[in-house]
Amino acid sequence: MKNIITSTMLFLAMAILIFFCSLHCKSICKELNELSTDIEHLVDAEEWSAAFLESINLSEKWEYYSKFLSVYTNDIELDIISDDIINCSQCIKTQDLTDSMALINVVKHRIKHIEDFQKFTLENLL
């Protein structure tokens, strides 16, 4: 009887922990997507200095949050996002509108992919 209670308590604790970690992951992705959208609007308005500062801010936040996201996502995907953020910052620095917009959309898409991967769907469970 003790083993059943202990197993049930551990299962419930683990389920609750996974639920809250998933919520935290989603909030991180939402914050990073909002930063990316801000950068996209600044680049579209050709406010290059403000866009560059926001891209540096995005890079710093990504470096901080990617350690947590590595629990949920493939390390190769995180490295690709890191490279895309750095490339985007360099395109913004050189004031290249088309490449900046393309790269920031790639970053948004990849972050959205991480967020979608955390949803509880049959496809993600299998």
In the predicted model, what is the mean pLDDT of residues 25-54?
93
Locate the domains of the chain by residue range: 25-125
Could you read off the pLDDT of 18-30 as tens digits, one per residue?
Answer: 889 888 989 999 9
The CATH classification of domain 25-125, taken from the options 3.40.30.10, 1.10.3720.10, 1.20.120.290, 3.90.1510.10? 1.20.120.290
Supply the pLDDT for residue 126.
59
Using the predicted structure, report yes or no on whether residue 124 has a pLDDT greater than 70: no
What pLDDT band is residue 51 in, cutting at 50, 70 and 90?
A: very high
Helices (H), the chain: 2-44, 48-69, 75-93, 97-117, 122-125
What are the structure tokens assigned to 36, written together? Answer: 């990316």
In the predicted model, what is the mean pLDDT of residues 103-118?
91
In the predicted model, what is the mean pLDDT of residues 39-58?
93
